[in-house]
Amino acid sequence: MSTQPAVPSAVRPRRVVTDRRGGRSAPPYDTFNLGAHVGDDPAAVAANRSRVARELGVPEDRLVWMTQVHGTGVAVVDGPHSGPVPDVDALVTATPGLVLCVLVADCVPVLLADPAAGVVAAVHAGREGVRKGVVPAALAAMTRLGARLGNTTALLGPAVCGACYEVPAAMQADVARVAPAAAVRTRKGTPGLDLRAGLAERLHAAGVAEVVHDPRCTVEDPRLFSHRRDGVTGRQAGLVWLG
């Protein structure tokens, strides 16, 4: 009978969510924008990303980014990439020191980890990702690397809250078909979506051991980037790695 090799005791999952403070970007991307696709000065974004690596104590090429497309694509990575992994919305790794990065400005950054198996994932879960099943796709990729859902924990980072996320009734119904708990009323009494509630429901149903919420709303908190609030703006990042 084969057994999963133990993760060295010095290696454990680590999770960080950035905010907009302390970077080099000028308005409307002020100041710690990590998104290279939103129109910001590339030199400012590069300086901000360099700061991430410096603060985490890893070489800059150990940061793995992705070109997010609101789909269900998952990439398993085991080493540095010269550019963003194209056309995926989830990254999975069992390689220590490789930092998986997800960019958000209202969508949910989902940071998953099985500390026993030494497998982590970063997932971009917006409305379409929740509806299409990007988180189950990431969990499936983790299990193929040896993770067990009963050992896996999830952090749902800051995102637009249900009280602020107004959508047409038909759009709400589309999401509610796969994640009923996501269907809520906004503070105006109109149809809304609480994506974190829907994701938590699906994670618990899948057998994930623990789901932790960062309760901050990107629309309400001026320290966070929000596309719904500001239109042209930057992106914060959710980061997860074995370190």
pLDDT digits (tens, 9 = 90+) for 44-73: 999 999 999 999 999 999 999 999 999 999
Q: What is the pLDDT of residue 11?
A: 80
Enter the tokens of residue 228: 């719904």
Cβ neighbors of 131 (< 8 A, separation 6 or more) are 174, 175, 177, 178, 179
Q: How many CA atoms lie within 13 A of 147 on its CB side?
A: 28
pLDDT exceeds 80 at position 170: yes
* Type of residue numbered 113: A
Rounded CA-CA distance 158/200 in Å is 14
Distance CA 165, CA 213 (A): 17
Task: State which CATH number among 3.20.20.80, 1.20.210.10, 3.60.140.10, 3.40.50.80 fits the domain covering 13-242.
Answer: 3.60.140.10
Where do runs of H (alpha helix) occur along the chain?
Answer: 42-56, 127-132, 134-144, 169-176, 195-206, 227-230
Average pLDDT on 171-180 reads 97
Give SS3 for 103: strand
Tell me the C-alpha distance between 139 and 121, whole Å: 8
| Residue 180 clears pLDDT 70, i.e. is over it | yes
pLDDT at position 5? 41
CA nearest neighbour of 119 among 98, 93, 97: 93
Angstrom distance (rounded) from CA 57 to CA 29: 25
- The pLDDT of 79-89, averaged and rounded, is 95
Structure tokens at 171: 């759009």
